[in-house]
């Protein structure tokens, strides 16, 4: 190849420009997944546990289209556990129950129950059980507790809900308080 000095410098100057242009085109067309293209990015903290992993929520027209780990967050550096990774389903889930379902003793069928009826029934049974199992003192020691009720928290409760739940249960005199994530 007959390469003049002028052609050589012209060639060296153009190559990086061509490379940059093609990399830009590639990053736009290949690296941005379709589901988050043109979506608004908002950072937040996973509500599930005290680890406090950072997440990015992508919304388009006010609808959440994706949630993923935030690679810039110092706690998780983009990683999420299985709960955090499935958090989109907190917002969008056709299988999520929105009504109270009740199966009467001895019945094999589930029925819808109104929220008012369910709350009244829970209050009624809690009060009855607490009254019947209340222990004021034992061996000369003041206890003021009930062993008749236990509370098991679910792993889908967020940190604030767990805090309020444990406060409420202790205020009622429960000592058997556990969490599904620890079991």
Rule CB under 6 A: which residues touch ligand SF4? 46, 48-49, 51-53, 76, 80-81, 83-84
Rounded to whole angstroms, what are the CA distances from 143 to 35, 139, 146, 167?
57, 10, 9, 17
Least separation in angstroms between CB 73 and ligand SF4: 10
Q: Which is nearer to ligand SF4, 27 or 92 (CB)?
A: 92
Q: Are strands 100-102 and 111-113 parallel, antiparallel or unpaired?
A: antiparallel
Minimum CB separation from ligand SF4 for residue 29, in Å? 31
Smallest distance, ligand SF4 to C-beta of residue 56, A = 13
59/68 with CB nearer ligand SF4:
68
Q: How far apart are CA 118 and CA 124, in angstroms?
A: 10
CB nearer to ligand SF4: pick between 118 and 181: 181
Comparison of 48 and 145: residue with beta carbon closer to ligand SF4: 48
Closest separation in Å from C-beta 176 to ligand SF4:
24
Question: Residue 162 or 174: which CB sits closer to ligand SF4?
Answer: 162
- Measured from each CB, the residue nearest to ligand SF4 is 84
Distance of closest approach, residue 94 Cβ to ligand SF4, in angstroms: 23
């Amino acid at each position: 190849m007959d390469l003049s000095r002028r052609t050589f410098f012209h060639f060296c100057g153009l190559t990086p420009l061509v490379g940059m242009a093609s990399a830009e085109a590639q990053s736009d067309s290949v690296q941005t997944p379709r589901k988050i293209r043109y979506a608004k990015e908002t950072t937040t903290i996973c509500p599930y546990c005290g680890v406090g992993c950072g997440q990015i929520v992508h919304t388009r027209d006010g609808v959440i289209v994706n949630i993923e780990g935030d690679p810039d967050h110092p706690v998780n550096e983009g990683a999420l556990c299985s709960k955090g990774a499935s958090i989109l389903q907190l917002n969008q889930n056709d299988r999520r129950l929105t009504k109270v379902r009740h199966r009467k003793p001895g019945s094999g069928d589930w029925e819808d129950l109104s929220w008012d009826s369910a709350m009244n029934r829970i209050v009624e049974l809690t009060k009855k059980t607490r009254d019947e199992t209340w222990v004021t003192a034992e061996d000369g020691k003041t206890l003021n507790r009930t062993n008749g009720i236990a509370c098991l928290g679910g792993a889908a409760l967020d940190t604030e809900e767990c805090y309020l739940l444990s406060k409420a249960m202790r205020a009622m005199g429960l000592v058997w308080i556990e969490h599904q994530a620890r079991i």
